[in-house]
Amino acid sequence: MTWQATILTLFPGMFPGPLGQSLAGRALEDGLWSLDLRDLREYGLGRHRVVDDTPFGGGAGMVMRPDVVAAAIRDVAAAGRPVIYPTPRGRLLRQDDVRRLTSGPGIVVLCGRYEGVDERVLEECAVEQVSIGDYVLSGGEMAALVLLDSCVRLIPGVMGSDASGTEESFSDGLLEYPHYTKPASWEGRDVPDILLSGHHAAIASWRQTESETATRVRRPDLWAAYRRRTGQDTSDPVS
């Protein structure tokens, strides 16, 4: 069955954007996934198709109305397809989420604009809120593209080598080891000898050590979780 993405947006022209190129673009052409774009403006109210209003309690900016957003969600809702709202207020998107979303029939992505979406519709429609990082974008479209790209590349048949999806950063809770290619010596920098040795077990062990070191130094949060998961740290989890 084709993995189906529906995007609710005020800017449908931003899609497929970069997802029309390269792996995702080819997969879209080959029918490995489908993209259904819905202009939120079409669910807007009155002659001017209004989708937003001023915030209760005052403050800057506008808020997307719950009745408009609910009409759009209910129009496209399909069993088994979660509705995802990218927002800085969401929990951080992780590779585990991406794997879960890719293993289902697809997703509906609600792209926020202005100050965001009325909280009630997020609760009422059981919308899942995810953030793509601790910074603020001007709209949810870029975040939707990031989310879609991360999902589409895991659809079976999209990536050339099936191993690429299982041997990469986060697949085992660690960052990936560093990569090297030709030339073996470049501007006075040599590729680590072990990679030229042909000893597969030794190379695998070196890569594992490099992965662990990079994770410990760069991402102490991931390192702590990895150590707990692998039984190397038996103290109580902090989160």
> Stretches 20-28, 75-83, 99-107, 126-134: which one binds ligand SAM (CB under 6 A)?
126-134
Q: Which long-range contacts (CB under 8 A, 24 or more apart) does 178-184 make?
A: 178/210, 178/214
Q: Which position among 44, 66, 86, 106 is part of the footprint of ligand SAM (CB under 6 A)?
A: 86
Task: Report helix, strand or coil for 68.
Answer: helix
Q: Is 114 annotated as a binding residue?
A: no
In the chain, how long is the greatest CA-to-CA distance?
Answer: 71
When asked if residue 139 is in the footprint of ligand SAM (CB under 6 A), the reply is: yes
132 is an annotated ligand-binding site residue: yes
Q: Which of 186, 188, 163, 187 is nearest to 176 (CA)?
A: 163
Binding site annotation covers 133? yes
Q: Is 138 in the site for ligand SAM (CB under 6 A)?
A: yes
Question: Of 1, 136, 201, 238, which lies in the binding site for ligand SAM, with binding defined by CB under 6 A?
Answer: 136
Please give the span between the terminal C-alpha atoms of the chain, in angstroms, as a whole number.
37
Instruction: Examine residue 119 and tell whether it contacts ligand SAM (CB under 6 A).
Output: no
Residue 177: Cβ within 10 Å count: 20
Cα gap 187→183, rounded to integer Å:
10
Check residue 58 for interaction with ligand SAM (CB under 6 A): no
Q: Is residue 129 within the footprint of ligand SAM (CB under 6 A)? A: no
Residue 89 interacting with ligand SAM (CB under 6 A): yes
Q: For 226, list phi and psi in degrees, rounded to 5.
A: -65, -45
Applying CB under 6 A, the residues found at the interface with ligand SAM are: 86-89, 111-113, 115-116, 131-133, 135-140, 143
Residue numbering of the annotated binding site for S-adenosyl-L-methionine: 112, 132-137
